[in-house]
Structure 1
Amino acid sequence: MEIFERLKAAVPDDWNAYVGHPFVRGMGDGTLPEPAFRHYLVQDYLFLIQFARAYALAGYKARSLADLKAASAGVSAIVDTEMDLHVRLSERWGLSAADLESAVEARATVAYTRLVLEAGMSGDLLDLYTALAPCMIGYAEIGTALAALPGGLSPDNPYREWIAEYSGEGFQEAAQAARDQLDRLAADRLTEARWPALVDLFRQATRLEADFWEMGLTLAE
């Protein structure tokens, strides 16, 4: 079993609460309140800036060319794909690029992104990619699940573009690359003694991802 699947299996309740959150279900059937999605878009843009920094940190901490290439691909996936998606989507929802860049980070945004950066600063690449996994790989899983719903990609679903992006080939390939990188790092650095701490880090990151959905749903600042 690949390391990501082992981590998910270790925290099933937390994982299911994240990928099955009411915010996610609301995107899938198109019932999510529009103000909640707009608030999410703004915060996720700020979120992605910090995640790009995390992948840049991975590049700094790389000990091989393969690790450096993986980090570079992560930065590119965020800066060249996800952030462009957010700008396009936001414009259609009445938000300009200036609105996104001038926004203040919500507490839920700070909580998860700083956990990731701290994991990378104080730990090694295995810690960093474990903390990143619920976002990069989790969004791919969510996108695939929502695209498979009867109305997920329906023209009547206002969230179909988000679903199409995260279920699409480009993002799915990026997520698979993240899985592969996590496996390579685990093969090199994971020991049984280290496993409980890694599970705890993955659990924290997963819970903070669920909190991020909740922030969007409740419009919490």
Structure 2
Amino acid sequence: MTLFARLKDAAGRDWTDYASHEFVRRLGDGSLPEAAFRRYLVQDYLFLIQFARANALAVYKSRTLADMRAAQGALSAILDAELRLHVTISARWGLSAEDLDTAREARETLAYTRFVLDRGAAGDLLELQVALSPCVVGYAEIGRALTPGGIAAVPAEHPYRDWIADYAGAPYQDVARRARAQLDSLAQRMMPERRFEDLAEVFAMACRLETDFWQMGLDAASDPR
């Protein structure tokens, strides 16, 4: 069993509340209010900027060239691909690059991203990667769960098809595969079994903060803030 699978099992309801949140379910069936998705897009852009910082921190925390290159690859993926893609998708929803860049971070965004950065600053590379993994690997699992018949089965007119296709698609699934493999590699070197319980709590907290992040988007349908 991979470390990620063990962490999911240990998280229990914290994981399922995140991965099966109403925001996710309604995004999947197309019933998510547009205001909720727009709020999510803005905050996720700001979220990615902070996750780029976390991956830069991972480079610093690395003790081998292989670990440094893995972290640098994740950082480059955010700066050179994900943020650019995010701007493109947001434009389709009437959000300009200026709208994204001038937005204020929501409390939920601050809570989650600073938790990850704090775990990275206070702990080691493994703890940082565990804190990142509900997002990095979780989005890939959510993408797969929303496409049981494959991406081709998602109707062309589905309002959130592009988002679903991005995370269910082969390029992002490969990102998640590499992240799981990196977790296992770090665990082999840095995780005596007595440490698992502490890492499981970090993972569970990150899942709870992910749940709050989804809820923040969903709440925008009634309270756009």
Alignment partner, residue 53 of structure 2? 53
CA contact 1:77–1:171 (8 Å) conserved in 2: no
CA distance in 2, matches of 1:171, 1:150: 14
Secondary structure at the counterpart of residue 192 of structure 2: coil
Q: How does 1:141-160 map to 2 (within 5 A)?
A: 141-148=141-148, 153-160=154-161
CA root-mean-square deviation = 1.4
**Structure 1 residues 77, 52: CA separation in 2 closer, same or farther (over 3 Å shift)?**
same
Q: Which residue of 2 aligns with 1:196?
A: 197
Residues 202 and 156 (structure 1), Cα distance of their counterparts in 2 relative to 1, 3 Å cut: same
Report the number of matched residues.
Answer: 221
Instruction: Tell me, in whole angstroms, the C-alpha distance in 1 between the residues paired with 2:129 and 2:170.
Output: 21
In percent, how many aligned pairs have the same letter? Answer: 57
1:41-94, CA deviations, whole angstroms, 9 ceiling, x for partnerless residues?
000000000000000000011110110111011112212222122101110100
Deviation at 1:150, TM superposition (A): 8.5
- TM-score with structure 2 setting the length: 0.95
Q: Distance in 1 between matches of 2:34 and 2:159?
A: 9
Amino acid at match of 1:212: F
Is 1:180 the counterpart of 2:162? The answer is no
Q: How does 1:65-80 map to 2 (within 5 A)?
A: 65-80=65-80
1:78-114 superposed Cα distances (whole Å, 9 cap, x missing partner): 1222212210111010000010000000000001100
Segments of structure 1 that go 5 or more residues without pairing to the other structure are none
Rounded to whole Å, the distance in 1 between the matches of 2:64 and 2:196 is 23
Letter of the structure 1 residue corresponding to residue 181 of structure 2: D
Unaligned runs of 5+ in 2: none
Query: 2:32 and 2:73 mapped to 1: Cα distance?
Result: 32
For the 8 Å contact 1:139–1:166, the answer to whether it is kept is: yes
Deviation track 1:167-202 (CA, whole Å, cap 9, x = no partner) reads 111111111111011001100111122111111100
